[in-house]
Structure 1
């Protein structure tokens, strides 16, 4: 497991240079077919035989993962071309996605952001890709994403916080080559 910070990468935690474009959980869309987006921060690495690129966007996150001849581009973001609503569960051969939205108090949100800082730091210490970005205007407006080996392949988790609505969006994804079948790419949604 190695993690390399690319030129587009910011330190583990940093205020991002643009305001976030999604303002609540219900604005997030989901796609496995959206084009690669310009990123505000990137962490690249090798995890469990997969090449992974974690990307923070002004509109949320994108994860690029490839291994065993397969490539996936997961986008959870508020983008004009990303019109499918974010599902609570989505599966296809070799890939699984789940999401949840929680309402929290301001004190609970503060605790979550502190915990996310620890989670990201722990993943960085372990040598797996991880990022957390803070958006201008509120230290509690963050997007965090971490990758790790698991479930026979690579997994990643994301968190998006919305202090103005008291929401925390959490996602969990997994990609396994043993379930993918013929090499090409995964994801048509």
Structure 2
């Protein structure tokens, strides 16, 4: 699913993103609900950041005023009734436009994905793509910062305890 957002994205730098679990749903600019193997996820775009909600559990990657920036490269935490494995990296692809265009095309072709395009550049996007695995549910996200040529990728696997 593709959403064209009329609001400029709020996050300005990849280095300002932080990870939080358990936040209440934040105001979203775009949402898409998917069900995978009986688990319902709400994919949410917040500025140039994201939130995934499963029942009363959530993962938020955003510039949060009460948290320092810097995503962990890897993290495994027990949060509520789930084990959450998280990975993140920030790349500067040599062909930023082609990389972002491929991600957008792949996500648009997948009914379990959400792509939000922000005004000012077709490369200012946040994309989320969910799927099920033997371990539980998982999703990948991409946060594109065209002004810096940065692409933040995250991957999360959430398993019930």
Scaled by the length of structure 1, what TM-score is found? Answer: 0.77
Query: Structure 1 or 2: larger helix share?
Result: 1
| Structure whose alpha-carbon radius of gyration is higher | 1
Which residue in 1 is equivalent to 2:76? 91
Larger mean Cα displacement after TM superposition, 25-34 or 75-84:
75-84
Q: CA deviation at 1:160?
A: 0.4
The runs of 5 or more residues in structure 2 that have no matched partner are none
RMSD of aligned Cα (Å):
1.6
Cα pair 2:3 2:30 within 8 Å, conserved: no
Give the structure 2 partner of residue 122 of structure 1.
109
Match 2:131 to one of 148, 153, 156: 148
Instruction: Give the superposition deviation at 1:59.
Output: 4.3
Task: Name stretches of at least 5 consecutive residues in structure 1 with no aligned partner.
Answer: 1-11, 181-189
**CA distance, structure 1, for counterparts of residue 70 and residue 24 of structure 2:** 17
Kept in 2, the 8 Å contact 1:34–1:81? The answer is: no
How many equivalent residue pairs? 157
**How high is the TM-score relative to the length of structure 2?**
0.90
